[in-house]
């Protein structure tokens, strides 16, 4: 089996880091922890799992410690997790298969974030669960590149919402998608902490735009910020439009633009954004959003068609979609 380096950056993560590292200790070849100034027991706990702990002075740039971790990695592949995430056993099996037999040099993995804050998100899946004595209403899922071949010159960009995507593209590396989710427990932290970080992230996101105006992801990230935290739907829409203009075939960007158009009452335009994707993609998120848009306009027949297409993909949202179909029939 090819070797795997886990690369992790930390600061004051004593609440989570043991569970994170325990979830991969028998799977990865080595663990590299780059710590940016912990004052708690984070490093002490990490030493139970690895002696590759690197101190790094924080410089308002999340890519910098990510790239420092890559410098110390020796594996054939890089696996990236944050301290408040774990990798389930079934995902490890799928990763093993992909790196041994797959044809891609990098993979998007689904990040499953348990949440009480984003229950109105169009991608929210209601699935009540209690984690460490805290009840959650369900989860949202988004795809992030967290697994890639360790190649010279592949590095992270962006001050925040850091990404290796554009570096991989510059190396002509094929990027695939792998149904190997990792679980994210960020909201086990205090809600004030979660919201407070977003203002800091927003400042860094605008720095991203200044340095990388050609990166469509930066416009997408700011669109989400204006929608989720500022409740400014017009600005959220404007940035969503810029992301799609730069990268028109990206499903996530088109979905976000459709959501933002729907939020301001422009449903026909939202439909027009997504319908071209039916020629090139079979994606449950697209089918569900189209179903919702058709249903909102009273077109129950087309809505049911879209929901049925989503069901054919063995969607994890099966119960939710069945309820939507029932609503159409009532």
CATH number of the structural domain spanning residue 112: 3.90.550.10
Determine, yes or no, domain membership for 163. Answer: yes
Residue at which a domain ends, from 136, 156, 189: 189
Q: Which of 189, 216, 236 is the last residue of a domain?
A: 189
Same domain, 180 and 322: no
In this structure, the answer to whether residues 175 and 313 fall within a common structural domain is no
Q: Does one domain contain both 129 and 13? A: yes
Q: Report the SS3 class of residue 148.
A: strand
Sheet strands (E) in the chain: 4-10, 30-35, 53-55, 77-80, 85-86, 106-115, 125-131, 134-149, 175-177, 182-184
Buried b (16+ CB within 10 A) or exposed e, 227-236: beeeeebebb
Q: If phi over 0 gives left and psi between -120 and 50 gives alpha, with beta otherwise, what is residue 153?
A: left
Q: Would you say residue 218 lies in a domain?
A: no
In the predicted model, what is the mean pLDDT of residues 31-38? 98
Q: What is the pLDDT of residue 195?
A: 66
The last residue of a domain, from among 189, 214, 242:
189
pLDDT at 176: 95
Same domain, 185 and 286: no
pLDDT, residue 141, reads 86
Do 49 and 163 sit in the same domain of this protein? yes
Which residue range is the domain that position 307 belongs to?
Answer: 282-330
What is the arithmetic mean of pLDDT over 200-211? 94
pLDDT above 70 coverage of the chain, percent: 98
Tell whether 16 and 142 lie within a shared domain: yes
Are the beta carbons of 149 and 76 closer than 8 angstroms? Answer: yes
**119: in domain:** yes
* Cα–Cα distance for residue pair 23/47, rounded to 1 Å: 15
Whether the CA torsion 124, 6, 169, 103 is positive or negative: it is: negative
> Domain count of the chain?
2
Residue 201 lies in a domain: no
| pLDDT confidence bin for 323, thresholds 50/70/90 | confident
What pLDDT was estimated at residue 126?
84
Question: Which is nearest to 114 in space by CA: 133, 139, 135, 93?
Answer: 139
pLDDT (average), residues 107-115? 94
- 300 pLDDT exceeds 70? yes
pLDDT digits (tens, 9 = 90+) for 215-255: 999 999 999 999 988 999 999 999 999 999 999 989 999 99
Q: Could you tell me how many helices (H) and strands (E) the chain has, helices first?
A: 13, 10
Q: Does 211 map to a domain? A: no
CB 117 within 8 A of CB 193: no
Measured CA to CA, the distance from residue 322 to residue 179 in angstroms comes to: 22
pLDDT at position 317, please?
A: 74
Does one domain contain both 157 and 55?
yes
Interval 46-73 mean pLDDT: 98
- pLDDT, mean over the chain: 94
Within this chain, do residues 29 and 167 fall inside the same structural domain, yes or no? yes
Specify whether 44 is located in the same domain as 177. Answer: yes
Residue 181 lies in a domain: yes
Task: For residue 116, tell me if it sits in a domain.
Answer: yes
206 within some domain = no
Cα angle 297-302-307, degrees, rounded to a multiple of 5: 105
Same domain, yes or no: 151 and 292: no
Same domain flag for 8 and 156:
yes
Q: What is the pLDDT of residues 280-297, one digit of tens each?
A: 888 888 999 999 999 999
Q: For residues 133 and 22, state if they share a domain.
A: yes
Determine the pLDDT at residue 192.
63
State yes or no: pLDDT of 193 exceeds 70: no
> What percent of the chain stands above pLDDT 90?
82
């Amino acid at each position: 089996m090819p070797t795997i380096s886990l690369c992790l950056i930390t600061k004051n993560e004593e609440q989570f880091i043991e569970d994170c590292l325990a979830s991969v200790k028998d799977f990865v070849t080595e663990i590299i922890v780059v710590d940016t100034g912990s004052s708690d027991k984070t490093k002490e706990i990490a030493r139970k799992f690895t002696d590759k702990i690197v101190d790094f002075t924080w410089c308002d740039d999340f890519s910098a410690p990510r790239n420092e971790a890559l410098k110390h990695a020796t594996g054939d592949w890089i696996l990236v997790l944050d301290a408040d995430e774990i990798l389930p056993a079934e995902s490890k099996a799928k990763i093993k298969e992909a790196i041994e037999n797959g044809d891609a040099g990098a993979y998007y993995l689904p990040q499953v974030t348990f949440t009480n804050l984003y229950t109105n998100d169009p991608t929210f899946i209601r699935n009540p669960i209690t984690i460490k004595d805290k009840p959650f209403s369900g989860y949202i899922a988004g795809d992030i590149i967290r697994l890639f071949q360790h190649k010279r010159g592949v590095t992270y960009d962006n001050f925040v919402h850091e990404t290796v995507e554009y570096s991989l593209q510059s190396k002509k590396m094929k990027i695939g998608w792998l149904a190997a989710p990792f679980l994210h427990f960020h909201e086990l932290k205090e809600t004030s902490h979660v919201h407070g970080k977003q203002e800091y992230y927003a400042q860094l996101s605008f720095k991203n735009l200044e340095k990388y105006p050609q990166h469509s992801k930066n416009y997408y990230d700011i669109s989400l910020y204006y929608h989720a935290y500022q409740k400014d739907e017009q600005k959220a829409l404007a940035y969503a439009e810029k992301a799609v203009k730069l990268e028109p075939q990206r499903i996530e960007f088109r979905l976000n633009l459709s959501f933002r158009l729907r939020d301001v009452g422009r449903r026909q335009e939202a439909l027009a954004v997504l319908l071209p994707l039916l020629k090139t993609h079979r994606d449950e998120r697209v089918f569900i959003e189209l179903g919702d848009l058709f249903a909102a306009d009273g077109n129950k027949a087309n809505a049911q068609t879209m929901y049925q297409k989503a069901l054919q993909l063995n969607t994890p949202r099966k119960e939710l979609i069945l309820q939507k179909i029932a609503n159409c029939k009532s």
